[in-house]
Amino acid sequence: MAMSMSMAMAMAMPNSQSLKASPVRNLYSELVYVSSSVKSAFSRLRFQAKAPMNFTCRLKSNSVYEDLPAVGEDLPPDYEEWIPKKDPKDRRRAGILLHPTSFRGPYGIGDLGEEAYRFLDWLQETGCSVWQVLPLVPPGRKGNEDGSPYSGQDANCGNTLLISLEELVKDGLLMKEELPKPVDADRVDFSTVANIKDPLIAKAAERLILSEGELKNQFEDFCRDPEISSWLEDAAYFAAIDETLNTISWYDWPEPLKNRHLSALEEIYQSKRDFINIFLAQQFLFERQWQKLHNYAKMKGIKVMGDMPIYVGYHSADVWANKKQFLLNRRGFPLLVSGVPPDAFSETGQLWGRWCPLYDWKAMERDGFSWWIRRIQRAQNLYDEFRIDHFRGFAGYWAVPSEAKFAMDGRWKVGPGKSLFDAIFRAVGKIKIIAEDLGVITEDVVQLRKYIGAPGMAVLQFGFGSDADNPHLPHNHEQNEVVYTGTHDNDTTRGWWDIIEQEEKSNVLKYLKITGEDDISWALMQAALTSVAQTVIIPMQDVLQLGSSARMNIPATQFGNWSWRLLSSTTFDELEPEAKKLRDMLSVYGRL
């Protein structure tokens, strides 16, 4: 039976005896929100003492406020202690973008060994609490990908070139005298690195398979894990066939293998069993080293922010084993391919070609988006949070006929939108993602991002070429946003400064209130840190004030990218002045 309004208020309102009988915080820990029928009754009352100037209960239906103590009455003795507390989820923070391939290392590439741990030590000294990496997938070795982590051969496997040989020695899987002679290389040459490291990593994997003990038990548990085996077995078979046939893509494989006939797969298993087992063991070794490093980051209070390309490569286990999930013709060739129309990175747009087929979103929805759910689960296992590259493709995506020569020949098509993320949330719960929403961003992209609560991105280098309404300028930033001086697709700040037009330079100097004599890299870093945005990410090249030669990638180009490394003469111990300077900045702007 419903209570009358007066009865409900009598029960909810404190009297003078109750105020004296218990601490105010306990007394007002319950606040009532009124049900949709305000005139009939209160259903619950909860007190919120967030604003010390206002003791209120808010009616859910119409936001009416009523003061609890009457006007003029004494406030509680501990009133001055009722200070609003910040939600830890709203903590302001900063981080560094540095892919593991860019670490120093003796064999031509950075890895997951000692230098990665020293970087995390240095990162903690700076006060930063985020480490952003690029995709950790194996970079493509065919189709002119030239080491690109965005053209990987598998969306879920790890890049075994990142495995530390020294860590394998510690595990007893390699002998110290088996290590190769050091290679002095300022940039990564992926084919050279593969020739040096692949045979030794395979040897370590083979020894693991033949071993007995705890490490072997961990390997067997890894292979039996259903969240791992759901993608690892397909990847192993794909790699075995690829190694045997050595074609440009799986499209050129014999029909029984191309279409996964069971008899053909069984024959591959029998003939390539050793290769398959070594492949599995190599993935375990990558996983072991990465999770060890990831746990060290957690111990240091550092979150690892990963990166996930929205699309996967055509020559991959992902497409070969899931053809019905992609827009392919009956022969397996892409009908439509991905890309973007002209934008800030390319005047003619970017055509990703047959190497990035589009999803068949209707087929994926009929399947409950199971492929995406597995991919998200894998990312959650690798990272604390992750950026989804080209997020706008979930709202509306650019589709280009596979025979087209230019990206501008495409057209916009409707993406899966909320239905995809609703399915993901039902399966895995809320996910911590960053929406890369650069380029042509329409209202549907904004609404989808807000629907899932994901922060978008702002890039300061894009902020000074237009007017005051430019969303990349700090005064237009939002709290739920990740701000960069530049991304892996941008030039370094120093390189950008050297090539922009004089008018844009004048805008920068005026906005930042600096002169041409000031260091532009640190000035732009400071501008980012002042932003209201919760998270700021700074490329390591900007901390080091490096020029265009240190740029990681030039979009719409195939060669010479992804190879930048820290100089062999640059140790993190020597970067103590930079760590202190950055920490001081973070302290000033509340990001420690």
Structure-token pair, residue 28:
């007002």
DSSP-assigned letter for residue 412: E
**Strand ranges, E, within 9-59:** 56-58
Residues contacting 567, CB < 8 A, separation 6+: 104, 186
> Does 67 participate in catalysis according to the annotation?
no
* Distances, alpha carbon 6 to alpha carbons 9, 11, 61, 275, in Å: 5, 9, 18, 79
The rounded Cα 75 to chain-centroid distance in angstroms is 48
Catalytic residue among 389, 437, 481, 491: 389
Closest C-alpha among 493, 387, 504, 506 to residue 436: 387
Token reading at 385: 């949070």
Reduce the secondary structure of 113-144 to three states and give it as a string. CHHHHHHHHHHHHHCCCEEECCCCCCCCCCCC
Q: Using CB atoms within 10 A of its CB, is residue 193 exposed (0-12), middle (13-18) or buried (19+)?
A: buried
Tokens of 335: 């009908």
Per-state percent for the chain, helix, strand, coil, to nearest 5: 45, 10, 45
> Does 489 participate in catalysis according to the annotation?
yes
Which residues, 6 or more positions from 82, have their beta carbon under 8 angstroms from its beta carbon?
24, 25, 49, 52
Structure tokens at 443: 């209202």
Q: What is the DSSP string of 72-95?
A: TPPPPTTGGG------GGG--EEE
Strand, coil or helix: 445 = helix
What single letter denotes the amino acid at residue 83? Answer: I
Query: How far does CA 78 lie from the centroid of its chain?
Result: 44
* Catalytically annotated residue among 242, 287, 318, 436: 436
The three-class DSSP label of residue 473 is coil
Buried b (16+ CB within 10 A) or exposed e, 502-528: eebeebbbebbebeeeeebbbbbbbbb
Distance CA 453, CA 438 (A): 17
CA distance 455 to 294: 23
- In three-state secondary structure terms, 307 is strand
- How far is the CA of 552 from the CAs of 135, 383, 483, 490, 548, in angstroms? 13, 22, 18, 8, 9
- R_g of the chain computed on alpha carbons: 28
| Alpha carbon distances (Å) from 261 to 92, 257, 267, 321, 543 | 53, 6, 10, 11, 53
Instruction: Establish whether 389 is a catalytic residue.
Output: yes
User: What DSSP character marks residue 485?
Assistant: S
Q: Catalytic pick from 489, 491, 542, 578?
A: 489
- Which residues carry out catalysis? 389, 436, 489
